[in-house]
C-alpha cells in the first residue's frame, strides 16, 4: 500500500522532533518541499497535532505497547493515534493502514497495526482533569507547567487554558500604512482597524500584498504591544531585542515614518533578517539596526521611549509552536528571569528623564513579569483568543 505524501512528510517531521529535538516548523518546511497546498496543509495538521499531543500519545503507547519502541515506529503510532482519537474528517482505515506502512520495514509495524485496531474497537479512557497530573495527561502539557498554572490561575482557568493551547492558532495580519494603498479585498476574514483576522484558506507569502509590505503576520496580542508603547511622530525610540522585527516595523508605522528607531539585535543573522523585514515594510529609512548585546548597549543621547521584548519562555505561544511545551524546562525559568532583569537595567539606562518604558513578554509565567506596574495587561488564549502576553508600562 502506498502512503500519501502528506502523511509521509508528517512522519518525517515527528521522527525528527523525537530523534534529534528538531523544531517542528523547520522540520515541516524541509519535509513539505514539493507538496501542493492541500497536502502541505494536511501534513502540518497531522505533524503539529502529533507533536503537540506527545505527552498524551506517549501515555497511551505505554499502556498498549509494552517495551521500548524504535523512533520511526513510535512516530507512526503517534500519527495513527492522533488521527483516530483527535482529528475529525479522517477515515479510520486510512489512518491505520498508512500508519502501519510508515512503520515498515521495522517488525514494529505489526505492533502499530495491533494497537491502532484495538484503539479503534475499544477507544481510550484518558485520566480526568481534576488534578494537575490528570489534566497534564488529558490535555498534553508537561506536569510541571500544569502545576504552575494550577497554583497561579486556579483549576478552572487552567483547564480552559490547557484546552485552548491545543486549538489551532489564529492567523492575524497587521495592515501597514507605510506601503500605501494596496488591494486587500480578497483576503478572507474580518478587519478591524489595522488588523485582519483571517478566516479560511490563505497563502500569506504568495499574496502580492505581502511582497509589497502591506501585510505582516502578527498576533493581536503582539499588535497591542506596539499600540501600548504609543510612539509619537518625531520621537527617538529604542527597541531592544528587536528581531524578527514585527514590533519594530509596527512602531515605525505608528510614527508615520517620522522619527528614529534604534533596533538592537545580538545575533548577526537575525539582525540581517530584521533589515530585510524593514526594507519590505518601508521602515528602513527610519530604523537603524545595531548588532550588539542589548544588556551592554548604551546611547548617551537616550530615548523618549524604550520597548523591551526580551527572550522569554514563550509559554503564551503554545498554539503556534507545538514542540515548545516539551522543549522548555522548569530550570530554564530562573535563568530567563535573570537575563530579563539585566535587560531591564539596560532599558532604564537608555531612557530620557520622563520617558516611557514598556516591557512585554509572550509568556504565561508570573516569574517572568519582571516589570510591575498598575499600567499593565495580560492576555490568555482561552479568554482573549490570541497569544498569551504580559505587558507593563512605566515612566522612569
Q: Output the nine-digit C-alpha cell for 60.
A: 497511551
Closest CA to 62 of 88, 42, 81: 81
Alpha helices in the chain (DSSP H): 5-20, 24-31, 37-52, 54-64, 71-86, 92-103, 109-122, 132-138, 143-153, 155-165, 208-211, 220-229, 246-254, 268-280, 324-327, 332-349, 381-384
Question: What is the edge-to-edge ordering of all strands in the sheet holding 287-291?
Answer: 287-291, 260-265, 236-240, 303-308, 351-361, 389-395, 376-379
Marked catalytic residue, from 61, 241, 312, 362: 362
The CA distance from 147 to 158, in Å, is: 9
Active site residue 362: yes
CB atoms within 10 A of CB 207: 17
Question: What is the edge-to-edge ordering of all strands in the sheet holding 215-217?
Answer: 189-192, 195-198, 172-175, 215-217
Q: Output the nine-digit C-alpha cell for 114.
A: 495491533
The single residue listed with the C-alpha cell 503554545 is 318
Query: Helix, strand or coil for residue 64?
Result: helix
Which residues are identified as catalytic? 362
Amino acid at each position: 500500500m502506498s502512503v500519501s505524501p502528506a502523511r509521509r512528510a508528517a512522519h518525517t517531521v515527528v521522527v525528527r522532533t523525537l530523534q534529534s529535538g528538531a523544531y517542528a516548523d523547520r522540520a515541516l518546511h524541509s519535509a513539505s518541499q514539493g507538496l501542493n497546498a492541500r497536502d502541505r496543509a494536511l501534513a502540518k495538521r497531522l505533524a503539529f497535532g502529533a507533536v503537540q499531543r506527545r505527552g498524551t500519545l506517549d501515555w497511551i503507547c505505554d499502556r498498549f505497547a509494552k517495551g521500548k519502541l524504535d523512533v520511526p515506529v513510535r512516530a507512526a503510532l503517534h500519527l495513527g493515534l492522533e488521527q483516530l482519537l483527535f482529528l475529525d474528517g479522517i477515515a479510520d482505515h486510512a489512518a491505520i493502514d498508512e500508519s502501519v506502512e510508515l512503520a515498515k520495514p521495522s517488525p514494529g509495524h505489526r505492533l502499530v497495526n495491533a494497537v491502532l485496531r484495538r484503539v479503534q474497537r475499544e477507544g481510550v479512557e484518558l485520566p480526568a482533569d481534576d488534578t494537575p497530573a490528570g489534566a497534564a495527561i488529558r490535555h498534553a502539557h508537561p506536569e510541571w507547567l500544569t502545576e504552575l498554572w494550577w497554583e497561579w490561575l486556579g483549576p478552572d482557568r487552567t483547564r480552559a487554558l490547557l484546552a485552548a493551547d491545543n486549538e489551532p492558532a489564529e492567523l492575524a495580519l497587521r495592515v501597514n500604512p507605510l506601503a500605501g494603498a494596496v488591494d486587500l479585498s480578497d483576503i478572507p476574514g474580518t478587519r478591524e482597524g489595522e488588523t485582519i483576522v483571517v478566516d479560511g484558506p490563505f497563502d500569506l507569502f504568495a499574496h502580492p500584498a505581502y511582497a509589497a509590505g502591506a501585510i505582516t503576520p502578527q498576533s493581536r496580542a503582539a499588535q497591542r504591544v506596539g499600540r501600548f508603547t504609543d510612539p509619537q511622530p518625531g520621537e527617538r525610540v529604542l527597541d531592544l531585542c528587536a528581531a524578527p522585527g514585527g514590533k519594530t516595523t509596527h512602531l515605525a508605522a505608528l510614527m508615520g515614518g517620522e522619527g528614529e528607531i534604534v533596533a538592537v539585535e545580538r545575533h548577526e543573522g537575525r539582525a540581517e533578517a530584521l533589515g530585510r523585514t524593514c526594507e519590505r515594510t518601508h521602515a528602513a529609512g527610519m530604523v537603524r539596526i545595531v548588532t550588539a548585546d542589548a544588556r551592554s548597549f548604551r546611547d548617551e543621547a537616550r530615548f523618549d521611549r524604550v520597548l523591551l521584548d526580551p527572550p522569554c519562555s514563550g509559554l503564551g505561544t503554545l498554539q503556534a509552536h507545538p514542540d515548545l511545551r516539551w522543549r522548555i524546562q522548569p530550570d530554564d525559568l530562573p535563568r530567563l528571569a535573570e537575563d530579563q532583569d539585566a535587560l531591564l537595567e539596560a532599558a532604564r539606562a537608555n531612557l530620557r528623564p520622563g520617558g516611557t518604558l514598556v516591557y512585554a513578554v509572550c509568556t504565561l509565567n508570573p516569574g517572568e513579569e519582571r516589570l510591575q506596574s498598575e499600567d499593565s495587561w495580560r492576555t490568555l488564549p482561552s479568554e482573549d483568543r490570541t497569544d498569551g502576553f504580559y505587558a507593563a508600562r512605566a515612566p522612569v
